[in-house]
Amino acid sequence: MKILQILPGFTLGGPTFSTSALTRHMQALGHQVQFHTAEGDFSGYEDIDFHTYHIHRFPYNSQLAFSIELYKHLKKECKDAQIVQTNSLWQFPNYIHEYCRRKTNAKSVIVPRGTLSEYALSLSSKKKKLVMALGQRTALKNADMFIATCKKEYEDIRKFGLKQPVAVLPNGLYLPEPKNTNKKNTVIFLGRIHKVKGVDILLKAWRTIESNEKFKDWNLIIAGPTASDYAKEIQQQASDLKSVSFTGEVKGDVKNELLSRASIYVLPTHTENFGISVGEALACGTPVITTTGAPWSGLVDNNCGLWIELSVKNLTQALEDMMSRSIDELTRMGENGRQWMNRDFAWEEIARKTIKSYEWLLDPDYVKKPEWIFVD
C-alpha cells in the first residue's frame, strides 16, 4: 500500500513524534510510506522517506502558508497512492491534498490531533474562518475517514458536523528500558511551555506548595523550550520561587532520565487530544497528575495517577495528596502505569490497527469493519 503522510511542520511536539513513529512501523509492515512536511531538522529520522518543501508564510499569519512545491509533488504522488493522510488542520498542507487527489483513487484520511476541540477552535477563530473558505471546509467535507486519538476527539468531530467514519486509535509509545533509579522529591512538567498547557496555573499552585514546611525538600522542574515570549513570561513569574528550575528542551535519554527520577509528572492542561507526555511519563514508571482536558481517565482505573478538573485549588490539593504519599507507594503507582502502557499502547499494535482501518476504507465490502471504527 502506498501511503502519503502530511504534516505542516517538523517541530517539537506530539504530532511530529507520533506521525514519524507511525510511519516507521507502517514501513516495517511492508508498506510504502512517504512523509511530506516543511523543511526542518531530521537528524535521528534517517530511516524515514521525507519529502520536504519550503513553506512560504505570510508575516503574522502562518495559517496562510503555501507551497507550490508541495502542491506539484502531491499531485504527482497521489496518482498511484491508496491513502493520503493529513495530520492537524488550519494550514495549507492540511487542505491542499484534497485538490491534489481529484481524479485519482486515493482516499483522504484526516487526523485532527486536537484542532477541533472547543478550546482549540476558540483560538484565532477569524483566521480559521478564512482558512475554511480557502479550502479546509472542502477537505473536511470530502474526507473519507477521520482518525481520533480518543473518544473525546471522536465527539468533537461529530459536534463539528462531520458524519464520516471515525477510527478511534490512540497514539503509540516507545517504552524505554526500565531503570533502577532512585526517585527524588521532584515534580516535573515536560512539554511545550504554552498557554494551553496550564503552566501558569501550575506556578500558582506551587506557590502554596513551596510555602508549606511539609514540602520544603521538594522541587519542581519545568522542562521545555524557553525561547518563546510566553515561556519567558512564565520564567519571570517563577523568578521568586526558589524550588522551581527550568531545563530548556530535553530529548531522548536525557528526557527519559528526568522522567524516571521524578516522583510525579504533572500536566495541568486545558485541552489535549492525546497528551503523549503523560504516556511517556508512565512508560518511565512515574505516576501522573493531569486534568480532564486530557483523555487519561484510565489513570484512576489503573491506580497510576490523578485525573482532576482544572483549577488552582484542585491542582494544589492533588499535588499535596501525591506528595504526601511515600516514595514506595509512588513507585508502585509508576509501575502500574508502565504495565498499562506496555499492554495497550505499543506502536506495533497501533500501526497494525491503522493499516486495518485503511484496508476497510479501501474495500468495505470485502474487509470486515474493525470494532474501533464508528460509522454512526
Measure the CA–CA gap between 6 and 85, rounded to whole angstroms.
6
Chain segment 318-362, per-residue pLDDT in tens: 999 999 999 999 999 999 999 999 888 888 889 999 999 999 999
Is residue 212 scored above 60 in pLDDT? yes
Please tell me which of 16-25, 246-255, 320-329 the model is most confident about, judged by mean pLDDT: 320-329
pLDDT at 19: 85
Query: Where on the phi/psi map is residue 156: left (φ > 0), alpha (ψ -120 to 50), or beta?
Result: alpha
Q: Which of 358, 365, 359, 296 is nearest to 147 (CA)?
A: 358
Strand partners, 187: 220, 264
Grid coordinates standing for 175? 517504552
State the Cα–Cα distance between residues 115 and 153, nearest whole angstrom.
9
Coil, strand or helix: which one is 332?
helix
Tell which wins on pLDDT, 309 or 35: 309
Rounded to two decimals, the pTM is 0.72
Q: How far is CA 95 from CA 11, 130, 132, 166, 315, in A?
A: 20, 13, 9, 18, 39
Torsion of the alpha carbons at 229, 235, 239 and 242, rounded to the nearest 10: 180
CB 237 within 8 A of CB 204: no
Mean of pLDDT values over 244-260 = 90
The answer, yes or no, to whether residue 17 has pLDDT greater than 80, is no
Residue with cell 502530511: 6
Please state, in angstroms and rounded to a whole number, the distance separating the CA atoms of residues 232 and 229.
5
| Helices of type H across the chain | 14-28, 68-77, 96-100, 118-122, 125-131, 137-142, 151-159, 199-210, 229-237, 252-261, 276-283, 298-301, 312-323, 327-344, 347-362
For residue 90, pLDDT over 70 is answered with yes
Most confident listed range (18-22, 182-186, 313-317): 313-317
Residues 6+ apart with CB under 8 A from 92: 8, 55, 64, 65, 66, 67, 70
Q: Which residue's entry shows cell 533502577?
A: 180
Helices 229-237 and 199-210: angle between axes, nearest 10 degrees: 10
More confident residue, 181 or 128: 128
337 or 54, higher pLDDT:
337
Return the residue matching grid coordinates 487527489. 101
DSSP 3-state helix, strand, coil percentages of the chain (rounded to 5)? 45, 20, 35
Show the domains of the chain with their CATH numbers.
Answer: 2-172+346-374 (3.40.50.2000), 186-344 (3.40.50.2000)
Statement: residue 42 has pLDDT above 80? no
